[in-house]
Amino acid sequence: MATAKNPKSKKQLIDDDQLIELYMNAVLEKNEAPKNVYLFCKEHAIEEADFYSFFNSLDAVKEAIWVKFFDNVVGMLQKDSNYASYENRNKLLSLYFTLFEILTLNRSYIFYTLKDNKEGLRNLKQLASLRNHFKDYIVDILKSGETEKDSKVKKITRPVFSEGAWLQFLFILKFWLEDTSKGFEKTDIMIEKAVKATFDILDTTPLESLFDLGKFIWKERA
């Protein structure tokens, strides 16, 4: 039976990165996910209290893995002194290319954790936190290129664009999982074509025109 320990004598021997690494290795080595927190901690000689100080469940670990991937990508982009001056299209391209470089380094884990999903990528619970981080980052990209003149219009179009970018990412992710080309070169082509299509379709100029028209009609009726 587990008993409470004296807080003064407790020594933290593990962190969230180590827990994530242990979890991913366990999945790859056994070709199955740990059954529960108790068995996971017992196998790796971890106090359950230490585990719960970082995550409230194994599902939370699975979500955190994707966030860690994304945080690594953002960190790499921010180290590029030229990135801030890129146009939004090139920022999105850089985001995708760097993200899929990270995912490729962890393809074995990702392929295992996604291959048996029956609900479709949009419904995967483990991607929930990544979705929030991804969409927030897309909004930040849009904000960085805004002028004061069009900020009111962009405030409306940002959520549409960020959701569209997320759906686009899921589409590319599925394509990448099924890509058998050397070095996943077809995925690179898909990224370039998808981003170009997105910016062609989601050009804000017609949206701004519709917004102005809507304002005019509303004022006239008022």
pTM over 0.75: yes
Question: Does the pLDDT at position 137 exceed 80?
Answer: yes
DSSP letter for each residue of 148-195: TTTHHHHHHHHHHHHHHHHHHHHHHHHHHHH--SGGGHHHHHHHHHHH
**Tokens standing for residue 18:** 């180590």
Where exactly are the structural domains of the chain?
A: 16-52, 62-202
In the chain, % of residues over pLDDT 70: 75
Question: Does the pLDDT at position 162 exceed 60?
Answer: yes
Q: What is the Rg, in whole angstroms, of the alpha carbon atoms belonging to the chain?
A: 22
Question: Does the pLDDT at position 202 exceed 60?
Answer: no
